[in-house]
Amino acid sequence: MNILVIGGGGREHALVWKLKQSDAAKAIFCAPGNAGIQEEAECFPVSPTDIPDLLTLAREKAIDMAVVGPEAPLVAGIVDTFTAAGIPIIGPDRAAARLEGSKAFTKELLREAGVPTAPFETFDAPEKALKALNGKSYPLVVKADGLAAGKGVLIVRDRGEAEAAIRAIMLDKAFGEAGNRVVLEAFLEGEEASFIVLTDGETILPLASSQDHKRIHDGDVGPNTGGMGAYSPAPVVDAVLHDRIMKEVIEPVVETMNRRGTPFRGILYAGLMISDGTPHVLEFNVRMGDPETQPILFRMEGDLAETLLLLHHRQLHKAVLSWPSNAALCVVLASGGYPGNYEKGKVITGLEELAGRKDIKVFHAGTKRNESGAIVTNGGRVLGVTALAPDLSACREKAYQAIEAIHFEGMVYRKDIGLKGIQRLSASA
Ligand code: AMP
Ligand code: GLY
């Protein structure tokens, strides 16, 4: 098979790396890729949202299967375009991608499906949203309806902050058209977990559990980021909770999408808050998580290309993926200033020291080669140092030890990736 991976972050590097191990993979292409992906696949400078140019590329390269990393092309309907052109592509069509494209759509669907989620109200006029603040308790969660690169969720502590948030989203359009509607949602206490499944609309194949670290600083403080690190498995998701998530969240959502005539086929990622022992849906993503993909795929056994092709042919019941009883952990190295402003073009050293190791993989995110061939920073999240070991503690040690080899000016990273999981394991031991 000729496979095209669309995207250029750490998630796409992990996808390319795993797909390449498939016996069925003849050639892997990536658009746009990054300096790490270039080592493993031929890359083309096409933006993931330039659907016409991606289609041209797919035709030129006789692509047998396209795999979409980020949400924006899915929400914009890349699957509908490729399908109409007869090119197999993995992911939900535009109608089903609304599960990520509109928070208001998702909240209504969850209500219909009877899936636990925080109580909420949706508004398309700012004055109505402001009026609804009478009698709200705090903290309160104010969400822009549409895609906002993970930044459209504001947790506010009092009425003043809530009014400012509604104005910023709906009047100042801080997140553009994403703020045409706003969702006001009760704040849930608990522990977060990511639960990702593959589904062809009939069979649901859960991937190993994982946990992300969304805030920029240690101890989960500071602004939200795309994700500063992740590990798999997530001890908070034990066997009982796993079954509950499947029965109370994933199955009803897949069934409701089928019943509505907009079946979901692709990768469904539930962002959950485990509150009082019950899984509540915070959000859905319609793609793999970044950086969750890195540890999940690093420890996965099985043929990813074959599995995704089975999904495409609605034969997912034949797929066999497994996760040995080990663990993997990914620490993201970011540019100083991220998720705000940061500089690019800083030379990265030390990568060659870690090359060729079976238990460590440095997945690239925002990297590129400069004119003189050096690998330099090219984004907020730069590298995901991922370690594989028999358990979480050993992974953590290994990952942080590996990081000591790597350097670039302004490099920042969290020092507490995995600690929550390790503490939970020692508390239950
Ligand atoms: P979302 O994009 O909806 O997942 O929101 C981003 C982050 O905001 C989540 O990962 C949570 O940390 C937080 N969050 C969102 N909704 C809630 C909620 N109802 N209660 C508490 N935290 C929330
Ligand atoms: N790591 C969170 C996400 O991929 O949305």
| Of the candidates 282, 400, 267, 258, the residue with the CA atom closest to the CA atom of residue 332 | 400
Fold of 125-180: Dna Ligase; domain 1 (3.30.1490)
Greatest CA span in the chain, whole angstroms? 61
The ligand that comes nearest to the alpha carbon of residue 153 is 1
Average pLDDT on 104-115 reads 94
Ligand 1 atom 9, closest CA: 282
Fold of 191-318: D-amino Acid Aminotransferase; Chain A, domain 1 (3.30.470)
**DSSP of 127-173:** HHHHHTTTT--SSEEEEESS--TT--EEEESSHHHHHHHHIIIIIS-
Residue type (1 letter), 204: I
Q: 30: pLDDT confidence band, cut at 50, 70 and 90? A: very high
Q: What is the pLDDT of residue 178?
A: 83
The ligand that comes nearest to the alpha carbon of residue 212 is 2
285, 288, 381, best to mutate for ligand 2 pocket (most atoms within 8 Å of CB): 285
Residues of the chain with CATH 3.30.470.20: 191-318
Q: What is the pLDDT of residue 50?
A: 98
Asked whether the predicted pLDDT for residue 83 surpasses 90, the reply is: yes
Taking residue 81's Cβ as centre, other Cβ atoms within 10 Å add up to 19
Average pLDDT on 356-377 reads 96
- CATH assignment of 327-428, among 3.90.600.10, 1.10.1040.10, 3.40.50.300, 3.90.550.10: 3.90.600.10
71, 153, 228, best to mutate for ligand 1 pocket (most atoms within 8 Å of CB): 153
Q: What is the pLDDT of residue 423?
A: 92
Residues of the chain with CATH 3.30.1490.20: 125-180
For the chain, what is the mean pLDDT? Answer: 95
Asked whether the predicted pLDDT for residue 149 surpasses 80, the reply is: no
Q: Position of tokens 């690190």?
A: 229
Q: What is the pLDDT of residue 53?
A: 98
Atom of ligand 2 nearest to the CA of 230: 1
Q: What is the pLDDT of residue 32?
A: 98
Please work out whether the CB of residue 292 comes within 6 Å of at least one atom of ligand 2: yes
Among the listed ranges 189-193, 243-247, 316-320, which one has the minimum average pLDDT value?
189-193
Q: 144: pLDDT confidence band, cut at 50, 70 and 90? A: confident
- What percentage of the chain exceeds 70 in pLDDT? 100
In CATH, what number does 2-91 get? 3.40.50.20
117, 215, 282, 292, best to mutate for ligand 1 pocket (most atoms within 8 Å of CB): 282
Per residue in 159-201, pLDDT (tens digit) is 999 998 999 888 888 888 888 889 899 999 998 888 999 999 9
Per residue in 247-265, pLDDT (tens digit) is 999 999 999 999 999 999 9
Q: What is the pLDDT of residue 135?
A: 85
Q: Position of tokens 């949202």?
A: 49
Please work out whether the CB of residue 227 comes within 6 Å of at least one atom of ligand 2: yes
Per residue in 384-429, pLDDT (tens digit) is 999 999 999 999 999 999 999 999 999 999 999 999 999 988 888 7
Distance 140 CA to ligand 1 centre (A): 10
